[in-house]
Structure formats: C-alpha cells, structure tokens
Structure 1
Amino acid sequence: MKVAFASTDKTHIDEHFGQAEHFYIWEVGPDQAEFTGVIQVRADGPGHSDDKIEARAAALEDCALVYVAEIGGPAAARLVAKKIHPIKSKDQEPISLVVEKLQEVLRGSPPPWLRKAMLKGERPGL
C-alpha cells in the first residue's frame, strides 16, 4: 500500500498537514518497503484553506495512510472521506522507524481499519 509522510527534512515526520509542501511516498508491504517518490504541493498559493486541503487530499488520493505531525479536524475528515487514513506521529519520529513498525503490524494481525486500508487499491470503489 502507498503511505505518505509529511516531512521538511525527508527523514522525520515533522510537518503539519496544512503546511506541508512535500509528502514522501513509500510503498509498504509486510516483507518489502521502498521509497517511491515525492508529491509536492504549494503551501502559500491563493485560495481558501478548504481549497488547499482539497488539493492536498487530491494529490494523495492513491495513498492509504498519511503520517503527519499535526492535522486539523476538517482536513482529517476530508482525508477519511477519500479513504485516506491520517495518522499523527509522535515526537518527530524517523520515517524509516515508522515504516519498520508498520511492516511488523502488517506481518502480524493488522487491525480491521488497516486491513481495509491495505485493500484500497485492489477493489474498485473502495
């Protein structure tokens, strides 16, 4: 599944969803994980904040999860409506450590919400 990380330094989850200009994308599975690219968005463009939230959500539509340092309620609701699960990361965790932890969970018995997220790209309309 595709997982996005909001980061200012490519290494730590340290950015607020609404301020993030870069989301680092990883393809994560139980046995393999690899960095696959960067999604860039403008933080300071014209328009209402709802437009900026929508633009970020649209850019991340292929992702099942997005890890952020902070996210507001309206932005989180928009992501969930698009079947993207926002996750707040504690203490500017290293992306590599979060990927490892996620893989451990995937190898075991993932909670139902995560199993559903893993299937996001496999079933139409999910």
Structure 2
Amino acid sequence: MAQISRMLTLVDGTIDDGFEDGALKIAFATSDQHHVDQHFGTCESFAVYLVTRDEAHFHQSIAFEQAAKDGSEDKLQARIAALEGVAAVYCRAVGASAIAQLKQSGVQPIKVKDGTMIKHQLGLFQEELKGDPAFWVLRALESVKGLRDDPRRFDDMETEGWSE
C-alpha cells in the first residue's frame, strides 16, 4: 500500500485570524505544485489550498511513495485518508471506485484537463463561490461553517414570519 512519504503544512503568520475557520480546503493532484497533471490513484502529491471567495492560500503539500499502476485499490486508502477535511480534489483522471470512495468520505472529485494551472482553477472556484455554487460546494460550506448543527440556523427565517 502506498503510504504518505511527506506532509508539509505551511504556517503563515500573515493570514488573518479566523481565515482558516471559514475557508474550504481544496486539493490538486500534481507533480510540480503548479499544474493539475496527475491521476488520483497514482498521484505523486497533492497541493492543498485554503480558499474563500476573496482569498486563496497554499496550505499543505502531501507526497506519496511511488504507487504501482496495477489497478490495485490499496493505494487509494492512503490518498483518501490524507484528504480528510478537504472539500474537493482536482485531478486529470479518477477511477469509478475512487470516485465512490471519495464521495463517501465527503470529498468531491473533479476531473480537469491535463496541465491545468492550479492558480487558474483556484480563480474559477472563487468565481463559483461568488456566483451560484454547485450543491456540493454549498454542502461543504455548511460543514465548514458548522451551520448544519447551529441551532440559530433558522432564526432569519423566523424573523421573516410565516404566512399561508
């Protein structure tokens, strides 16, 4: 089974306090930390960013031992576990079994063109956050903000009143 060989987390004192609390973690399957150029199941590494509507900051690099391209699903477990707390992973390809396992763990797999620039994809994602986000994005935002379990989540609707 391919294990994590290195996990580096950036500690950045320039990021405002509380930024991470409202940010989504987005991962990219990459070999160079600049382009989405890897298949999910055999990727060399993930570049993980913290993303809000207005900001995106590099957060973490997760590197893996070399994985055999043998169709074995053992290598998926380490990759999926490494994405705990991540809302989505962008990759150039992903198998059906990996898609099912990622979704089961709350990670949205997104396939993009090989060589897509990570910075470009971050910009597109931020535009989606500002506009009409997909359902999975709304669900991830709820999870990050803790709205689902917040007893005050219906207060605004209550103040609007109810009429039939």
TM-score (norm 1): 0.89
Which structure has more helix as a fraction of its residues? 2
Q: State the distance in 2 between where 1:55 and 1:96 align.
A: 26
1:27 touches 1:34 (CA, 8 Å); kept in 2? yes
What are structure 1's unaligned runs of at least 5 residues?
A: none
State the partner residue of 1:24.
47
Paired residue total? 124
Q: State the distance in 2 between where 1:122 and 1:40 align.
A: 28
1:5 touches 1:67 (CA, 8 Å); kept in 2? yes
CA shift, 1:7, in A, is 0.6
Equivalent residue in structure 2 for 1:40, among 63, 71, 81: 63
TM-score (norm 2): 0.69
Larger radius of gyration: 2
Equivalent residue in structure 2 for 1:14, among 37, 41, 44: 37
What are structure 2's unaligned runs of at least 5 residues?
A: 1-23, 150-164
For the aligned residue pairs, the C-alpha RMSD in angstroms reads 2.1
Q: State the distance in 1 between where 2:54 and 2:133 align.
A: 14
2:99 touches 2:109 (CA, 8 Å); kept in 1? yes
CA shift, 1:124, in A, is 9.4
1:83 touches 1:120 (CA, 8 Å); kept in 2? no
Q: State the distance in 1 between where 2:122 and 2:146 align.
A: 24
State the partner residue of 1:65.
88
